[in-house]
Amino acid sequence: MTTPRITRREFLETTALAGAGLAIGVRLADAAPARATAALQADVWLRVGADGLVTVTVARSELGQGVRTALPMLVAEELEADWKDVRIEPAIAAAKYGDMTTGGSMSIRSLWTPLRRAGAAARAMLVGAAAQSWGVERATCRAESGTVVHVPSGRRLAYGALVARAAQLPVPEDPPLKDPKTFRLLGTRVARLDVPAKLDGSAVFGLDVRLPGMLFASVARCPVPGGKAADFDPAPALAVPGVRRVDRCGSGVAVLAENTWAAFKGREALKVSWDEGALATLDSGAIRRAFEEKAKQVGLPARKEGQGAAALAGCARTIEAVYEVPYLAHAALEPVNCTARVTADACEVWAPTQSASDALEWAARTAEMKPEAVTVHTTLVGGGFGRRLMQDYVAQAVMLAKAAGVPVQVVWTREDDTRHDFYRPATYNLLRAGLDANGSPVAWTHRIVGPSILGQLVPEMRGGLDRSSVMGAADLPYAIPNLEVDWVLHDPGVPVGWWRSVGSSQNAFVTECFVDEVAAAGGHDPLAFRRALLRDQPRHLAVLNLAAEKAGWGAPLPPRRGRGLAVHGSFGSFVAMVAEVAVADDGAVKVERVVCAVDCGMVVHPGLVEAQMESAVAFGLSAALHGEITIEQGAVVQSGFDDYPVLRLDEMPAVEVHLAPSGDAVGGIGEPGVPPVAPAVVNAIAAATGKRVRRLPVRAEEVRKG
């Protein structure tokens, strides 16, 4: 990725001064849309005011991961800004910003160089302005903590005093970046910039948005995916105090009221006849049987090295296992919501979205306006995990606001959120491995059966290999000479979408548990077995060794207590986990401790990395111990945290996070911690009980004593 030359005219066009100030616009190189290349396109501005305050406009969504701190740190490091003077300004989405998607753990990775260049360019201009002011050689001046110092004399000028002169200087085409050895901010635990507002209540999440004359909407949807409202009687809903309107909303029916309570009560009173469509008889049992049948077919090749299946026939011993994972909901604490205001010539949206650019596109299409007429404000997001990459709720808000002629906030209930999600795909996995006379693996085959996220969302992708479905399996890091991975598409029609760490979230469970099975079959310790097979994967090996050392691998444990490990690389980072579990006689599993080692390359903020690993443990344990979406008569059975529970406080284990020293390129951190969680726990259960769990979530009846 390169930054093109910026002319003086372009610089002046991107300079917005409030009083006297310096603004730097850094335009990323033109690239194909993010859907095709996963590359990010945005204009990112740095503004240094005459008051010395540094404002960084953040064009990524804050989901709790700390992006509104980490991205400004990149700018502040190169700018040599004083952290206490740094402020953030969320970008208001518009076509000029390009793609603003927060997903794939890409925020830091994609903006690592462009944001540093923005800071470096501003620093160079401020140093040049100081040198001019003093009439000295530029080389005798240096930036330091929000000031420029003339080294020989010790004279010092604050940035605020220099911005007017600096704004007249040419923008450096390719400013030199600091040597990481000289970093003073990156790698430290600076205070998060978004925390004060969250503590004093001034932070604005999607549900906090209020506009004059706004109505609140609750949308009744068909319980069965693909179904629609055949007919409805609005009278009972309109009789509820506070209800103002009842409108069709796509395939559903919306009740609009003066407050959320009235909207919810009005929807309860609404009489709707549903056309449930083709999926009305679908159930989880039928889905599983179809998966099992499909597993008999040869799938699309995802990886093929050596002879694969053919090599199994010549092995001294073969092992076979079937692993299954269920559909999973995102279950973010903030239910889906969006606010929109539509006038004759403009559309304005306030959305807790992971993709402001996609929200803009959906809003423009729904409002039947050009993108230039649409403005999207990205609020703070109370949990995303991939769900907020979908924009169905944005379309609902815009549609209803346009029809009502007043601002409308669409609010989903917890039941809506659980029963109308875009779920993590369920899959069925058939694995076989062959061992030689020494118990070493010489062949490995893995067949994955399941639906395709891209196939559902992008028509032209249907029928082709969905790489997101095989990630974490096709890139198996172990040195096995004959290795085949294939994928069989079967889409039962349940809506699916991206879920934190996507295919790696399930394929790491499958592969890392089967690795343990293969190790046991050959009479090997799981750690030693992995070490031998990762001899050509230094980053995997480093985190594996670090986690094992810190966890005390091999130390004796009481009966019904075990340790399990897993290692996985995803999104440019590498994570190993050792879980320590206790299993009661009735099969109840208590995860007591998780030791995590992570190599994410250059660390921007250690505290954010640790928080993401701790979050990943909680998120991964919720799925491994509790998560399962089931289907009966076409509808999702689960409705909320009572029957789709997330991890409770008393279930949270002690978590230790250790950062592996690394000089490698910066990696992602929001997702890579999730994949090793489930396999580490399941491998620990096997170590404690001898019982092998091959189907999630963990069920007490499968591990109880007896």
pLDDT at 30: 29
Strand order, beta sheet including 408-411? 92-93, 374-378, 347-351, 337-342, 408-411, 215-220, 252-257, 243-249
Most confident of 48-57, 99-108, 544-553: 544-553
Residue 105 within any structural domain of the chain: yes
429-459: pLDDT as tens digits: 999 999 999 999 999 999 999 999 999 998 8
Are the C-beta atoms of 404 and 256 separated by less than 8 Å? yes
Helices and strands (H, E) in the chain, number of each type: 21, 28
**In terms of domains, do 321 and 398 share one?**
no
Q: Strands (DSSP E) along 605-699, which ranges?
A: 631-632, 635-636, 654-659
Mean pLDDT of 245-268: 98
The number of angstroms, rounded, from the C-alpha of 93 to the middle of its chain's C-alpha atoms is: 20
636-687: pLDDT as tens digits: 999 999 999 999 999 999 999 999 988 899 999 999 999 999 999 999 999 9
Give how far Cα 12 sits from Cα of 15, 43, 381, Å.
5, 14, 34
Query: Is residue 606 reached through a cis peptide bond, with omega within 30 degrees of 0 on the bond before it?
Result: no
Domain boundary among 136, 165, 193: 193
**Residues contacting residue 102 through CB under 8 Å, at least 6 positions apart:** 60, 61, 63, 67, 354, 355, 384
| Mean pLDDT, the chain, whole residue set | 92
pLDDT at 93: 83
**In terms of domains, do 549 and 621 share one?**
yes
Residue 3 within any structural domain of the chain: no
| Nearest C-alpha neighbor of 546 from the set 476, 583, 509, 597 | 597
SS3 556: coil
User: How many residues are recorded in the chain?
Assistant: 706
β-sheet bridge partners, residue 596? 577, 657
DSSP state of 264: H
Alpha helices in 270-413 (DSSP H): 284-294, 309-312, 356-367, 392-404
Angle, CA 562 vertex, CA 558 and CA 566 arms, to 5°: 160
* Pairing assessment for the beta strands 147-150 and 408-411 based on DSSP bridges: unpaired
Rounded Cα gap, residues 362 and 398, in angstroms? 9
pLDDT at 309: 87
**In terms of domains, do 311 and 370 share one?**
no
Residue 200 within any structural domain of the chain: no
Residue 135 within any structural domain of the chain: yes
Rounded Cα gap, residues 616 and 68, in angstroms? 19
Residue 417 within any structural domain of the chain: no
Confidence tier at 173 by pLDDT (50, 70, 90): confident
369-381: pLDDT as tens digits: 999 999 999 999 9
Mean pLDDT of 184-209: 96
Domain boundary among 411, 436, 465: 411
For 453, half-sphere exposure in the C-beta direction (CA atoms, 13 angstrom radius) is 24
DSSP state of 190: P
Mean pLDDT of 34-39: 27
pLDDT at 461: 81
Confidence tier at 18 by pLDDT (50, 70, 90): very low
pLDDT at 29: 32
**In terms of domains, do 33 and 84 share one?**
yes
pLDDT at 295: 98
Domain boundary among 344, 377, 411: 411
Does residue 462 register a pLDDT over 90? no
**In terms of domains, do 320 and 347 share one?**
no
- 3-state SS of 656-670 is EEEECCCCCCCCCCC
**In terms of domains, do 316 and 356 share one?**
no
pLDDT at 25: 52
**In terms of domains, do 224 and 361 share one?**
yes
Confidence tier at 95 by pLDDT (50, 70, 90): low
Residue 451 within any structural domain of the chain: yes
481-524: pLDDT as tens digits: 999 999 999 999 999 999 999 999 999 999 999 999 999 999 99
Decide which of 506 and 40 is more confident: 506
CATH for 169: 3.30.365.10
| Nearest C-alpha neighbor of 468 from the set 492, 445, 448, 484 | 448
**In terms of domains, do 137 and 256 share one?**
no
Residue 198 within any structural domain of the chain: no
pLDDT > 90 fraction of the chain, expressed in percent and rounded: 88
**In terms of domains, do 313 and 352 share one?**
no
- Give residue 233's domain range: 206-277+336-411
- Total number of domains in the chain: 3
Decide which of 480 and 164 is more confident: 480
**In terms of domains, do 427 and 396 share one?**
no
SS3 191: coil
SS3 110: helix
Q: Using N-to-C axis directions, what is the helix angle for 392-404 and 356-367, rounded to 10°?
A: 40
pLDDT at 20: 46
**Residues contacting residue 153 through CB under 8 Å, at least 6 positions apart:** none
pLDDT at 307: 92
303-351: pLDDT as tens digits: 999 998 899 999 999 999 999 999 999 999 999 999 999 999 999 999 9
Residue 199 within any structural domain of the chain: no
**In terms of domains, do 179 and 261 share one?**
no
**In terms of domains, do 296 and 224 share one?**
no
